[in-house]
Amino acid sequence: MARLIHHNESARVIDSSFPVADTSLQFFKDATIMPATNTIGEQVLEAVVTGPDGANRLFTCTGIANVQMSLTRTQEQTTETWTFLVGPTLPRPQFYRAIGTASVSLQTVDIQGAPAGFTVHVVSVEADWDDESERVEVRVEVLLSSDMIGVNINQLRYWVTILAKI
């Protein structure tokens, strides 16, 4: 448990009784709209802060989202939005705001001949509270294009910050 030392040198225990992340896919009811995935290696750092409107906790979550995007040499472009859950379970009154960023962390490329090229673009990242799971749902839109190259994207690295009132 984390401890906060006050000016009078006495310690106050910080409430950090949040459950370990459940990265199962059970919360995604309509996975045909956006591909849903699970996460691995999530790490959550909790800090006591003084934020707006009584917000007093800042959770920083990092990890890897497993994805499966690919283009063959004959395909030109695809765009997919992947969704996954991160961070602790928070009832709606405790959630204040979340932001996130993501990048491709595992890709493979099959080049045969020249000239050839490919582009991977993280178009957008959104992070917001999900009412079914009571966790933060992250949506990452990825554009993949290629010219005479086979490309596979297998993992996204994410960083999400959650501001909460505990």
CA distance 140 to 162: 16
Count the alpha carbons within 13 Å of 147 in the hemisphere toward its beta carbon: 6
| Cα distances (angstroms) measured from residue 22 to each of 81, 87, 99, 143 | 21, 9, 20, 28
Q: Which two tokens stand for residue 52?
A: 């707006």
The pairing of strands 39-48 and 11-13 is unpaired
Q: What is the pLDDT of residues 124-134, one digit of tens each?
A: 999 999 999 99
- pLDDT above 90 covers what percent of the chain? 65
Going by pLDDT thresholds of 50, 70 and 90, the confidence category of residue 40 is very high
Position 6 pLDDT exceeds 70: no
Q: What is the pLDDT of residues 75-93, one digit of tens each?
A: 889 999 999 999 999 999 9
Model pLDDT, residue 3: 36
Position 39 pLDDT exceeds 70: yes
Position 33 pLDDT exceeds 70: no
**What is the rounded average pLDDT for all residues in the chain?**
83
Position 4 pLDDT exceeds 50: no
